[in-house]
Amino acid sequence: MTTTRSNASTMALEAFTSSQPLTLGVELELQLLDTHDFDLTPRSEDLLRELVGHSGAWDVKPEITRSMIEIGTSIQRAFAPLRDELRDLRAQMSRAARKLNIAISGGGTHAYQHWSEQRIFPTERFRYISELYGYLAKQFTVFGQHVHVGVANGDEALWLLHALSRYVPHFIALAASSPYVQGVDTGFHSARLNSVFAFPLSGRAPFVLTWDAFGQFFDKMTSTGVVQSMKDFYWDIRPKPEYGTIELRVCDTPLQVDKAAALACYLQSLCRHLREERPFEPAEDDYLVYTFNRFQACRFGLDGEIVDPKTKQRSKLRDDIIRTLARIEPHALDLQALDACNLVRESLTEGNDATWLRQQRREHPPMAALVETAAARWMT
């Protein structure tokens, strides 16, 4: 059976839709758990049926395996309404889950599920991915937070995408919540991203700064038959022309919705600082240290090191976030995001969710008890 698509079915890159700059949308991939053993359970179709009549402007849809579900917020502009929508979403989902005798949890990985037991959700795209990537598709039962930020045009989207590259480790370390894989402490704060790295079209976007140049790259890729649409790129940050956004994809799903909202508004404030002050111009050489910085954040979390691509100076990631929070504070104030940035600041002292999970593991030795505690943290 062939796993490539006909070149005749490929499409030219669509025009970039203009959207209001700095608007936000948040997507969360969530775990569905059996309340008896707290392993993953393939109940996404049941939960989707239960949520058909939900109130609110948010969206809920399946993910690649049946033990996952993805929720997406409406377009938001400030921390408080984004947080409130996520809380409402959590409350309605939790009620529906309890009717079905299942639990829902955040976290970037399930602590002890086995990929071979997962079932692909029956859609054409998910079947195609399964045929193309083999067992990697089931190993992709990992859970992330994606944040969309509105931009006015494609050129601005690409500039901002590359300017944000040096801050990618911030979001990996702050959101990290996946220390355990298949019952083992991996030593990583974000082991989820190791599953993403396995895909051939993951990593960083090509260094182009105009939408026309990106269109030429896209045409070359589609002509090979390797790529059909933007969905085929699993980059850390990718443009979404149909939405008029850039999409940050490196965050593990947090264990609490308030933290998910805070991370989104930290990104929003950072984007405003970059686009209005232009403290530097992104360059191809920025990526010389990109993989190292990214690895440090995945492996060591907030205690990792980061190398400045311009000065070549090395510092603790936690310290770099503290300096960044100070620089963006005026923008956070204007965006009504100070509370969000304060939550980020507090997490630098308390530690990320990976640290919390390891602490809980010491207090509750059985892995099932750890997952049950994490689910309670998300649902209440």
Task: Report the alpha-carbon angle 236-93-113, nearest 5.
Answer: 60
Proportion of the chain above pLDDT 70, given as a percent: 97
* pLDDT tens column, 288-335: 999 999 999 999 999 999 999 999 999 999 999 999 999 999 999 999
- Model pLDDT, residue 130: 81
Q: Give, in order, the Cα–Cα distances in Å from 45 to each of 41, 67, 70, 120.
A: 11, 9, 12, 12
How many whole angstroms separate alpha carbon 29 and alpha carbon 58?
14
Q: Which of 147, 131, 1, 122 is nearest to 65 (CA)?
A: 122
Domain-by-domain residue ranges, the chain? 7-379
The domain 7-379 having CATH identifier 2.60.120.380: the answer here is no
Q: Over range 96-117, report the average pLDDT.
A: 94
Report, in this order, helix, strand and coil percent for the chain, each rounded to 5. Answer: 50, 15, 35
* pLDDT tens column, 53-89: 888 889 999 888 889 999 999 999 999 999 999 999 9
Predicted TM-score (pTM) above 0.85: yes
Yes or no: say if 46 and 100 are a contact pair by the CB < 8 Å rule.
yes
